[in-house]
Structure 1
Amino acid sequence: MHTTVGIIGGGPAGLLLARLLHNEGIDSVVLERRDRTYVEQRQRAGILEQATVDALRNAGAGARLDREGMPHDGIEIRFANRAHRIDFPSLTGGRNVTVYAQTEVVKDLIALQLAEGGPLLFDAQVTSVEGADTATPAVRFIHEGRQQTLSCDYVVGCDGFHGVARNAVPASLRTTYERTYPYSWLGVLAEAPPVYNELIYAHSERGFALASMRSPSVSRLYLQVPNGTDTAAWSDQRIWDELDARFATDSHPGWKLERGPITSKAVLPMRSHVTEPMRYGRVFLAGDAAHIVPPTGAKGLNLAAADVIVLARALARWRTTGSGDLLDTYSDTCLQRVWRAEHFSYFMTTTLHTDPNQSAFETRLQIAQLERVATSPHAAAELAENYTGLPLG
């Protein structure tokens, strides 16, 4: 079996790339190691930058997004018993973000791929990528109990940090940058309508909290917890009480979350990771295969989308002109945006969370930084521009 572009990973990055290539007349095959049900149900990000929304619309995957997505024009930051709103459009020249869960993005792209696109194979376990530095790299995988080989003109690894694509870049040529944070998130889904129509970020002596949503009737909520926390130690009552305590503010006396049944709980470790370069020979890395950000800045899915948008443009240029100039600059182009997003995510994470070992001095520095954001249009604009997403160029 041969294809122009072999895509490893059927998450949002791989599926969006396949759709963009389809629209350019470039054939591809997508190999996903999990079954369709798992892929469509795994909970991940839910905040889409304007550029990501535009890319999905242009790819033909915007109909349900436009019906059900929830545009947000700002966020609220709570600290020192006060609340301050960051208004995105006034600070960015009109940009905003949209709440639309990654599960829904994936469902939309899978439906399009199966209806119109090239092969999308679920339960396809990729075992290796060979010949990355040759003209026809090969992907070896097991599907329906048989070992198979997919030869390609190009291979794109969208298979995450633990996928095999990263290993196609020789260890001697890879540089890894990483930071692990001394806390995690306890994330829950609750059948409870959000009481506020925008996200709320809370800095508290008790730890960080975030109130988000998946729909007008489903809330997505997070609490900072110690690494290694067992979800069994957190009853529903304890979760709701702790959320209310961390969100408490004199700006909204008596404010409480709307409570309802909690349908899922998971502990999410926090780390930052970048692998350079994002290309070796004819193998390209995209999304979590190349970089991971803590979720505080809402950048993970959007960075993955930006990677494949850049790559699709480069492959379209190669197909129409024979020039590989944009393919040659893919890694450098993407890494400029990646490192900007890494810095913003680091800033949001370290400013809003309480390190278990931090001193009172460090807490006061956090408050001073948050005061700056609340009182300076320039500082607020810097946050808003990064949150809504920098231009793709």
Structure 2
Amino acid sequence: MTVTPGPPPARTTVGIVGAGPAGLLLARLLHLAGVDCVVLESRSRGYVERRQRAGILEQGTVDALRAAGAGERLDREGMPHDGVELRWGGRRHRVDFPSLTGGRRVWVYAQTEVVKDLVALQLNEGPPLLFDSPVSAVTGAGTGRPLVRYTRGGREHTLACDWVVGCDGFHGVTRRGVPDGALSTFERTYPYSWLGVLADVAPSHHELVYAHSPRGFALLSMRSPAVSRLYLQVPDGTDPSAWTDGRIWDELDARLAVDGDWSLARGPITQRSVLPMRSVVTEPMRWGRVLLAGDAAHIVPPTGAKGLNLAASDVVVLARAFGQLARTGSTAGLDAYSDTCLRRVWRAEHFSWFMTTTLHTAPGQSAFDTRLQLSQLERIAASPHAAAELAENYAGGPVG
């Protein structure tokens, strides 16, 4: 447990609920802009730093982390990737990002590592970061002084804020601080899930591989040069423990198979879990003095690698708006926050839907629908314009 000396603060300009990458990056950017804030996190530091999530960072997210002073270890240990490989029907086609996007690329660097870097910065030189401090309520969203009620060390505390930013996920407390009916939620649930595994074996390809197969989707990814991250499309409700190591490797082998010289390296599987697939967007992302960021406002299926990157974009916009308020007294940036972010959110939602529905086989899918998927993959392989559309969406533009 991390202990902050002295009593917890009673008031702040920005109260941030949630110490995931969105909340931590926002706190860091506010600190650099001279805006005081407090971060409240219900879980322990150890839990937050072990929580497995995304692993792909867009160029813009990497640029934002560097600007925040959190890029040193990323630059040393992160793995830059200049493309992805698509596989279907025994074929393989590489989409080259730099040549199609004017030089942009992506990085493989796990969310756990991003969080560790930001936590270290926050505890060493930033504003208060309070772990083991679950928030029970956010009140006064429509007033000039919202309150955050939380528990720390067995005692109830109240944090008075000028603004509250919810970075505590879709089921977090912050959303409940907005009056019923003030938010609209748009949602799509996909009829399949991902079985994700970590394996102590070097990746079998130097870049990510996305595979369409009659047996279902598969993804070959990585966490480091010695650790593979792999995914299989499975039915909803799948029990991960029902899949033996041998069955997982055999299925990956079958779905990733291509004509020619390539083989899948196998190794000990150290972790497995099942991830449901859904898309969610909440509008607006601000009500009164409460703002939502990251998963608290939107969720994307992981096929497009957008979740962490959207969260980073949200908080870059927010930090810029709070900096404007501190310098000039103008709330123009905060007033435009929701509309500014939602334009990027819906583009990312559409791309994630495209990648998901193009590469997965839905239960009961017709032969006609399968041929449409294959036609789309063929077009990406044959048309520079179609490939550029995929590359531009995947690599992303400037954050914020």
What range is the shorter-chain TM-score in? over 0.9
Name the aligned partner's letter for residue 336 of structure 1: R
Q: Which residue matches 1:159? A: 168
Alpha-carbon separation, structure 2, partners of 1:174 and 1:28:
25
Q: Which residue of 2 aligns with 1:230?
A: 239
Q: Distance in 2 between matches of 1:11 and 1:37?
A: 12
1:359 aligns with 2:385: no
Kindly provide the amino acid, as one letter, of the partner of residue 77 in structure 1: L
RMSD after superposition: 0.7
Contact 1:45–1:300 (8 Å) recurs in 2: yes
Q: Post-superposition shift, 1:257?
A: 1.5
Structure 1 counterpart of 2:57 = 48
Alignment of 1:182-221 (within 5 A): 182-221=191-230
2:88 aligned with 1:87, yes or no?
no
Q: 1:257 is paired with a residue of what secondary structure? A: coil
- Aligned residue type for 2:302: P
Task: Give the Å deviation of 1:133.
Answer: 1.0
CA distance in 2, matches of 1:387, 1:170: 36
Tell me the equivalent position of 1:247: 256
Q: Distance in 2 between matches of 1:134 and 1:290?
A: 21
Partner of 2:99, secondary structure, is helix
- Residue 168 of structure 1 deviates from its aligned partner by 2.0
CA–CA distance in 2 between the matches of 1:343 and 1:331? 18
Q: Which residue matches 1:388?
A: 395
The answer (yes or no) to whether the contact 1:46–1:100 under 8 Å persists in 2 is yes
Q: How far is 1:130 from its partner?
A: 0.5
Partner of 2:124, secondary structure, is helix
Q: How does 1:104-143 map to 2 (within 5 A)?
A: 104-143=113-152
CA distance in 1, matches of 2:170, 2:399: 24
Q: Choose the corresponding residue for 1:292, options 275, 299, 302.
A: 299
CA separation in 1, counterparts of 2:96 and 2:175?
39
Structure 1 residue 390 displacement after superposition: 2.4
* One-letter amino acid matched to 1:294: P
Instruction: Choose the corresponding residue for 2:40, options 31, 44, 68.
Output: 31
Q: Offset of 1:232 from its aligned partner?
A: 1.5
| Secondary structure of residue in 1 paired with 2:181 | helix
**Does the 8 Å contact 1:182/1:356 carry over to 2?**
yes
Q: Are the equivalent residues in 2 in contact too, given 1:158–1:288 (CA < 8 A)?
A: yes
Sequence identity, in percent?
73
Q: 46, 56, 68: which one pairs with 1:59?
A: 68
Distance 1:391 1:304 in 2: 13
Q: CA deviation at 1:293?
A: 0.2
Give CA-to-partner distance per residue, 1:320-366, whole Å, 9 cap, x none.
Answer: 00000010000000000000000000000000000012100000000
Q: CA deviation at 1:23?
A: 0.3
**What is the aligned length?**
391
- One-letter code of the match for 2:89? A
Tell me what 1:324 maps to. 331
Gaps of 5+ in 1: none
Q: Determine whether 1:78 maps to 2:71.
A: no
Q: Distance in 2 between matches of 1:22 and 1:304?
A: 18
Match in the other structure for 1:274: 281
Residue aligning to 2:3: none
Which residue identity is paired with 2:265?
E
SS in 2 for 1:172: coil
CA apart distance, 1:391: 2.8
- The one-letter amino acid of 1:324's match is T
Shift of 1:169: 2.1
Offset at 1:166? 1.0
Equivalent pair of 1:168/1:280 in contact (CA under 8 Å)? no
In the other structure, the counterpart of 1:337 is 344
Which residues of structure 2 form unaligned runs of 5+?
Answer: 1-9
Q: Distance in 2 between matches of 1:205 and 1:367?
A: 11
Deviation at 1:171, TM superposition (A): 2.1
- SS class of match (2:34): coil
| SS of residue in 2 equivalent to 1:173 | coil
What residue is the counterpart of 2:313 in the other structure? Answer: 306
Name segments (4+ residues, structure 1) moved above 4 Å. Answer: none
Task: Tell me the amino acid that sits aligned with residue 380 of structure 2.
Answer: V
Tell me which residue corresponds to 1:9: 18
Q: Is the 8 Å Cα contact of residues 64 and 399 (structure 2) preserved in structure 1? A: no
CA contact (8 A) 1:174 1:275 kept: yes
**Structure 1, residues 31-50: CA drift from partner, whole Å, max 9, x if none?**
00111111000100000000
* CA displacement 1:47-102 (0-9 Å, x = unmatched): 00000000000000000000000000000000121000000000000000000000
Q: Distance in 1 between matches of 2:361 and 2:375?
A: 14
Alpha-carbon distance, 1:183 to partner: 0.3
Could you tell me whether the CA contact under 8 Å between 1:169 and 1:279 is conserved in 2? no
Does the Cα contact within 8 Å between 1:44 and 1:101 map onto a contact in 2? yes
Instruction: Say if 2:385 is the partner of 1:378.
Output: yes
Give the counterpart letter for 2:385 in structure 1.
Answer: H
**Cα distance in 2 between the residues matched to 1:368 and 1:38:** 44
Q: Decide whether the 8 Å contact of 2:215 with 2:255 is kept in 1.
A: yes
What TM-score do the two structures reach when normalised by structure 1? 0.99
Contact residue 312 and residue 399 of structure 2 kept, 8 A: no
